[in-house]
Amino acid sequence: MTITATDLRPVLIAGSWRDATSQSSFQATDPNCNATLEAAFPVSDWQDCDAALDAAVAAAAELRRLPAEKIAEFMELYADKIEAAKDALVESAFAETGLARSPRLADVELPRTSNQLRAAAAACRSGNWALPTIDTKAGIRSCYRALGPVCVFGPNNFPFAFNSVSGGDFAAAIAAGNPVIGKANSSHPETTRLLAELAHAAVMESGLPPATVQLIYRTSHADGERLVADPRVGATGYTGSRGAGLALKAAADKAGKPIYLELSSVNPVVITPGALAERGEKMVDEFVGSALMGAGQFCTNPGIVMLVAGAQTDAFIDAVQARYASTAAGTLLSPAVARSLSKSVQTLTGLGAELLTGGGEPESDRCAVANTLMRVDGGAFLNDPEGFQTEAFGNASLMVVADDVPQLCRAIDCLEGNLTGCVYSSEGDSEEAEVEQITFVLEPKVGRLLNDKMPTGVAVSAAMNHGGPYPATGHPGFTAVGIPASVLRFGKLTSFDNVRPSRLPCLLKDAAPTEQTVRLIDGQWRGGAV
């Protein structure tokens, strides 16, 4: 089939759905049956990017003049539209990702997405995300302000909740008052287009600048790097593979442009002998449930389990192996994910990890690889810790069995930065000394430390950190989940020193802009007027 320009889906630039300037194209695959989906999408050239950037600059200027209330209204309207279009969105996402229609897409991810937009709307309306601070004695007031156009590159594994035009980075960037240029994930472009249609409709109905939300589907690597480094860009949010992310980071860093990255994480889970002795069966249930959920395609999937050698550990691994072998493999997001998973498993076994089950080639009639369990001893891990930390994104796990707790700690000390790290231990306090040693080396490696709990749930909480040291993310001080903290990434800190009252931003005037607004006024966090 020859694809012509008229067959290509349009890009959304400067408020119009129009043909991309390039005729280069791509199509996504239905992972449920390994069939190429009919819709074809353009690979945008620099002319599209350039037009989007110009329109975004103009939109950013307009947005700065609008009250926060208008932006909040847009997000709420958009959330309503997403819920109203649930069936079509779920059907499209199912066809493009293979994720279960229910509960995953319809009942978990879609409500999370609309609720995230509403939480962002509330943060935007109150201004609380911006940490408004007033020092009446010094005559100085400060808060975070919109930073400028934000580029968002969404990942493959959350077609709604991290989508570049509806997800966490999108909501955070918009709540801070910035327009967004969304770059669709190539594995679910139609779902992204449907969302952008809803977003665009909500933009127009709520009277925001038409270019508040723009969408392109794909660019060359070179144009992507040029985009994040462009002087017109305020910042970039990226969730995806480490390789592509680091290339974007290098380009953005060189230009002095903030870029927030979520790259990769093997999310180590330490299980002590005491935990296995007390609740070995429960541990198997908990681990297998977390590790195979969504075919293991979560940022916080527990990819590496760290154990101490012994009979309990062998029994645990045997039980997990049996469960992996007897459980049908989930459908993976795309042929690329299936290929990458097989390759990572080959890399790990090539380094000497023992293949306990799985490890074959992708299935031919859908995107899937058999549930895969591998094992390596602590000494071998320590001989090539970088190699054994190769991320196997999907339904594969590596058991690292150390000789003893000191070796376990040395192995942990070799870990790269991760989003999460867990410690399961005896319910009593008989293992506190060992747990203290383990935690001391584990905590600096992770953004979120858990006890007796698997990492795959990412609660929406003010205390949540969905972040972590490099290379899990690009900076250890920021979280990608949790409104309002995640919004700060897309703000610019600004002091107003002796600025005349009438010229202050609403958020910093004597009167509080809303009843929900809380400000640090002369050292006290409180609501109300100065």
Helix (H) or strand (E) holding 286: helix 273-292
CA dist., res. 453 & res. 471, Å (int): 23
Structure tokens at 141: 């007031």
| Contact predicate 55/18, CB 8 Å | no
Q: Would you state the torsion angle of the CA atoms of residues 325, 331, 336, 337, taken in this order, to the nearest 10 degrees? A: -60
Task: Give the relative orientation of helices 86-97 and 189-206 as an angle to the nearest 10 degrees.
Answer: 150
Task: Give the relative orientation of helices 110-126 and 168-175 as an angle to the nearest 10 degrees.
Answer: 20
**Least distance in angstroms from the C-beta of 222 to its own copies:** 19
Nearer to its own copies, 284 or 422 (CB): 422
Number of helices (H) and strands (E) in the chain: give both, helices first.
Answer: 15, 21
Phi-psi map region of 494: left, alpha, beta (phi>0 left; psi -120 to 50 alpha): beta
**Least distance in angstroms from the C-beta of 71 to its own copies:** 17
Nearer to its own copies, 198 or 483 (CB): 483
Residue type, 422: C
**Least distance in angstroms from the C-beta of 91 to its own copies:** 33
Structure tokens at 530: 């100065």
**Least distance in angstroms from the C-beta of 129 to its own copies:** 12
**Least distance in angstroms from the C-beta of 317 to its own copies:** 24
Nearer to its own copies, 327 or 461 (CB): 461
CA dist., res. 455 & res. 439, Å (int): 16
Alpha helices in 99-238 (DSSP H): 110-126, 168-175, 189-206, 221-229
**286 closest CA partner among 271, 308, 265, 273:** 271
Nearer to its own copies, 344 or 420 (CB): 420
Structure tokens at 360: 């074959």
Write down the catalytic residue from 151, 299, 367, 422.
299
**Least distance in angstroms from the C-beta of 490 to its own copies:** 9
Write down the catalytic residue from 262, 286, 391, 416.
262
Residue with tokens 């795309």: 334
**Least distance in angstroms from the C-beta of 249 to its own copies:** 7
**118 closest CA partner among 157, 90, 82, 156:** 82
CA dist., res. 497 & res. 138, Å (int): 8
Nearer to its own copies, 364 or 502 (CB): 502
**Least distance in angstroms from the C-beta of 403 to its own copies:** 23
CA dist., res. 493 & res. 141, Å (int): 11
Nearer to its own copies, 462 or 511 (CB): 462
Active site residue 299: yes
Q: How many Cβ atoms from other residues are within 10 Å of residue 377's Cβ?
A: 18
Residue type, 284: V
Taking every pair of Cα atoms in the chain, the longest distance, rounded to a whole number of angstroms, is 73
Nearer to its own copies, 279 or 453 (CB): 453
**Least distance in angstroms from the C-beta of 309 to its own copies:** 25
Torsion angles phi and psi, residue 151, rounded to 5: -90, 135
Nearer to its own copies, 226 or 242 (CB): 242
- Exposure string for 166-177, b = 16+ CB within 10 A, e = fewer: bbbbbbbbbbbb
- Peptide bond preceding 273 in cis form (omega within 30 of 0): no
**Least distance in angstroms from the C-beta of 78 to its own copies:** 25
Nearer to its own copies, 365 or 436 (CB): 436
Task: Tell me how far the alpha carbon of residue 57 is from its chain's centroid.
Answer: 26
Q: Which residues have CB under 8 Å from 227's CB, separation 6+?
A: 49, 53, 151, 181, 183, 219, 233
Active site residue 506: no
Bridge partners for 308 per DSSP = 402
Nearer to its own copies, 172 or 356 (CB): 172
Give the E-state strand segments of 253-371 in sequence order. 259-262, 269-271, 304-308, 354-357
Bridge partners for 424 per DSSP = 271
Annotated catalytic residues are: 262, 299
